[in-house]
Amino acid sequence: LSQLFRPLDLLGMVYRTIRQGVIDMEAMYKLIDTPTEVGDRPDAPALKVKSGEVRFDHVRFGYDPDREILHDVSFTVPAGRTLAIVGPSGAGKSTIARTLFRFYDIQQGRIMIDGQDIAAVTQSSLRAAIGIVPQDMVLFNDTVGYNIGYGREGASQAEIEAAARAASIHDFIMRLPQGYDTRVGERGLKLSGGEKQRVAIARTLLKDPPVLVLDEATSALDSRTETEIQDVLRNIARKRTTLIVAHRLSTVVDADEIIVLDQGRVVERGRHADLVRADGLYAVMWTRQASEREEPVSEPALSDLR
Ligand code: ADP
Ligand code: MG
């Protein structure tokens, strides 16, 4: 497990990114987990996104081929709809997000966007189509304006501010000593988890991708900020194909479909009400979270579900 933060790799990546002029912020996300080189096939065409349907078709994957993590995972997210992925820690939720972004090639099955196998198209076109709001955002050692504007090359200050407003971070930025020109990151102002997440959301809003992947991590936030961020996320999910890794089930009540993942298998699927009625793993999780909602001071919220 190489979950360690490696500053030298990061520097190299930032350098390459700047040199290539590629808008590939999500590569940052990759660094937090294991980078394995995945290459473009010769003459690979660009992905052509029409409506943004995402499909996992009998996907089998293990980081180590001898230890399969995803066992025959299948689902379809119709264009514009929302799929929520829930389940215990280690179930493979983030792995699904990583394979969709093609940080890794799967061992069996297919992952498709609008009928095109993601392994057959160029990585740059795939990554341009998907926006990820990760759990732990890594910021550039640059200004907060740069960090948001990175979502789209050539974005104007007005567009950056509009995205920041939509992500509920504009007012905060205006109170910083130099506003949008304030330096942030390791060598600048330290932002809180919630502030970084809102910067990530603003950047994704600017990128305006047809497919959105949200790794919700709002349990660390105070409840007002959490509600605010969830409203923003709901809004940006509305018109696009969205995969949400949900830690709090209250955020998936409205999802078009929920899959419950346990040890790399889809053990239940359906809408919220169906799953509560089915009285399986989802119902157990829901009941437990309901009691935690009633006693807010008792336990830290579901850190075991992450
Ligand atoms: P979840 O997001 O549901 O908590 P993950 O998808 O992160 O679960 O992990 C699923 C399984 O894959 C776990 O057993 C985890 O230990 C393993 N795993 C995750 N990342 C890696 C990695 N980079 N290398 C090897 N194993 C990994
Ligand atoms: Mg995870």
Interface predicted TM-score (ipTM): 0.99
pLDDT digits (tens, 9 = 90+) for 273-296: 999 999 999 999 999 988 776 655
Ligand 1 pocket by C-beta < 6 Å: which residues? 1, 33-34, 63, 69, 87, 89-95
pLDDT score, position 299? 45
Ligand nearest to the CA of 2: 1
Model confidence at 138, pLDDT cuts 50, 70, 90, reads confident
Sign of CA dihedral 145, 3, 92, 30: positive
Q: Identify residues whose C-beta is under 5 A from ligand 2, the ion.
A: 94
β-bridge mates for residue 184, sequence order: 142, 189
Distance 264 CA to ligand 1 centre (A): 10
Model confidence at 8, pLDDT cuts 50, 70, 90, reads low
Distance 306 CA to ligand 2 centre (A): 6
Closest by CA to 203, choosing from 19, 29, 12, 2, is 29
Model confidence at 29, pLDDT cuts 50, 70, 90, reads low
pTM of the predicted protein model: 0.81
Ligand nearest to the CA of 33: 1
Mean pLDDT of the chain: 84
Ligand nearest to the CA of 67: 1
Closest by CA to 131, choosing from 243, 211, 47, is 211
- Separation CA 105–CA 293 (nearest Å): 39
pLDDT score, position 16? 54
Distance 221 CA to ligand 2 centre (A): 17
Query: Considering only CA atoms, which residue is closest to atom 7 of ligand 1?
Result: 94
Name the most confidently modeled range: 34-43, 95-104, 216-225.
95-104
